[in-house]
Amino acid sequence: MFHRSISAIFFCCVWLQMISMPSFAQVTWVGTVRIPGTANDKSGLTGTLETGTPQGALGGFSAIEYSGTRDRYLVLSDRGAGDGAASFQCRFHEIEFSVGDRPSEGRFELVSTTLLCSQDRRSFTGSLEPIRGWDGKGHAPSMDPE
């Protein structure tokens, strides 16, 4: 998910327009927005994960929700590089984007990055390793934020 050497297509935006039969939808291509595979988020994290991926890499998006305001969306990252193979700090991003007919016409801006943590301020990680010895009590040491 976090391929830094290749430009990642940020979103292939489609608009589903329901037509007469509820079980059938017509898909219409709206446009493309691209972000570089080398882009960083706004977490302020430095260094690399166990997989060699930079801790502040922007990517691994697995969910998006419209904020209700202009072109703003909330984007949730998955477990991180290797899908649980690293101690990736779970996070979500607030973004603004609009699409164009060509990738050069699309606009993307990262507004903010928020690291997810418990009420007692302990970070949630996407790593599966802490779960192996967890007794199921107290702070869950790992999570899949979806």
* Predicted local distance difference test score (pLDDT) of residue 22: 57
Tell me the pTM. Answer: 0.72
Q: Which two tokens stand for residue 35?
A: 């972000």
Q: What is the pLDDT of residue 80?
A: 78
27 alpha-carbon distance from chain centroid? 23
Nearest CA to 97 out of 3, 31, 1, 15 is that of: 31
Instruction: Give the residue ranges of DSSP H helices in 8-135.
Output: none
Q: How far apart are CA 109 and CA 87, in angstroms?
A: 26
User: What φ, ψ does residue 128 adopt, rounded to 5°?
Assistant: -85, -20
pLDDT at 11: 38
Q: What is the mean pLDDT of each run of 10 residues along the chain (146 residues)?
A: 35 36 70 84 93 89 88 87 81 88 78 88 77 69 74
Which residues on neighbouring strands pair with residue 108, listed in sequence order?
Answer: 97
